[in-house]
Structure 1
Amino acid sequence: MKTLKTILMALALIAAPAAIRAQASADAPAATVTDLDQKYATDLLKAGTDAPDITLNTIDGKPFALKDLRGRYVVLDFWASWCPDCRKDSPFIMQLYKKFGAKGVAFVGVSFDKNLESWKNGVAKLGIEYTQVSDLKPMRESPVAEAYHVKWIPTIYVIDPQGKVVLATVVSDKVSAYLHSVYPDCAE
């Protein structure tokens, strides 16, 4: 009987820290995700992956192929005019375009608008000056979204001059940090 008591006490001592941690976790407020990439970018293409080529029409109906930008850094900005987070992010992306476009970085907006007029109005209202392309399909139906694993917008990719993904994120500040690392002479 004494041996059984000893074994039970030993088991209780071993299990106690785990039980205390579990209770502390249950009592703590829900954890917040400070890095939105941990929540929304987990399935995006990884750095080093070949960027899938896309061939879409521009906002004025001209054909555009991503492969034509080889030899340059490219920022692919997946967005839609109906997306509040995209509209909020747009002025910052435009600032990056004005700063790094002068260095030869190409910016391409890939819209998930379904309606051409809504898309055009969104671009005009936001003052977006860089190339805009779309297949005029909703994100969940777009082959481009599928190729780039886009499930949340805005999503932004940076592609290097060799056509490899170097950054995939939903956080535009990370795009800024990456571009500043490539072009340190653009620092504020």
Structure 2
Amino acid sequence: MNIMTLRNAAFGGLALLLAACGQGPEATGFITENLPPPDGAAIEDGDVPRDDAGRPFQYGLLGETLPAFSVSMPDGAEITDQDIRGQWMIVDFWGLWCPDCIVDARHVDALYAAVQDEEGLGMLSIHSPPNPNRINDAFGRWESLEAYTEETGYGGHSAVDSDASAIDAFDLPWVPMYFLVDPEGTIRGFRSGLSTAGDEPVETFLSEVREVIEAG
């Protein structure tokens, strides 16, 4: 989901302009360097280049140190950016207000389980409201993350960004987003959803992650 639509309505015009250009390249892969705008794409001031569906080809923090943040685990433990350094980490943001996130939920749980068998790789999944001005919209039609997990079985491993400070710090152009962070805390790649990763989205993503890790 294009989070810019939740921050301002300007992207609506961009989407129409992109659609008018016809079907172009898709930003559905694992992106490890910011890609140039596709030919003919219209870019709103302050926004990143996007494909026809609104998925970003670029992310402002790619190649940069991840921002300072703090989130709470289900048991109440606090996790900060400092806590996830020292090993390769997948960090993903999602929310129950986001239809694309709900589509991805089963894949995220499968990814989390698969990562437990990957030596030297961890995962932190963060449930966030859309932004600091929409805290009350965090859980969609559910009253809480716990209620969603009880109904579906998904999301029980997620940390919670209760005040939207973490999602605000990451300045996301899309949700859900999946980042690979190296042991020094540098964001080395991102993917804007797992449901677009083919017939085996978890294994496809892990293969992409392994390639970056093996390259160092």
Bigger shift: residues 71-80 or 142-151: 142-151
What are the equivalent positions in structure 2 for 1:1-188 lying under 5 Å apart? Answer: 30-32=22-24, 34-36=26-28, 38=51, 39-42=54-57, 44-103=59-118, 104-113=120-129, 114=138, 117-124=143-150, 125-130=152-157, 132-137=158-163, 142-172=164-194, 173=197, 175-181=205-211
Q: Which consecutive segments of 4 or more residues in structure 1 shift more than 6 A?
A: none
Q: CA RMSD in A?
A: 2.9
CA-to-aligned-CA distance 1:9-41 (integer Å, 9 cap, x gap)? xxxxxxxxxxxxxxxxxxx87325532464332
Gap regions ≥5 residues in structure 2? 1-19, 29-49, 130-137, 198-203
Report if the CA contact (8 A) 1:45-1:148 is conserved. Answer: no
Alignment TM-score, normalising by the size of structure 2: 0.58
Looking at secondary structure, tell me which structure has more helix per residue. Answer: 1
Q: Distance in 1 between matches of 2:67 and 2:61?
A: 12
Deviation track 1:136-183 (CA, whole Å, cap 9, x = no partner) reads: 24xxxx332232121421111111111110112203337434223257
What SS does the corresponding residue of 1:67 show, helix, strand or coil?
helix
Give the alignment's TM-score, normalised by structure 1.
0.66
The unaligned stretches of length 5 or more in structure 1 are: 1-27
Q: Work out the CA distance in 1 between the residues paired with 2:21 and 2:67.
A: 41
Q: 1:183 to 1:147 in 2, by over 3 A?
A: closer
Q: How many residues align?
A: 152
Percent of residue pairs bearing the same amino acid type: 20
Alpha-carbon offset, residue 72 of structure 1: 1.4
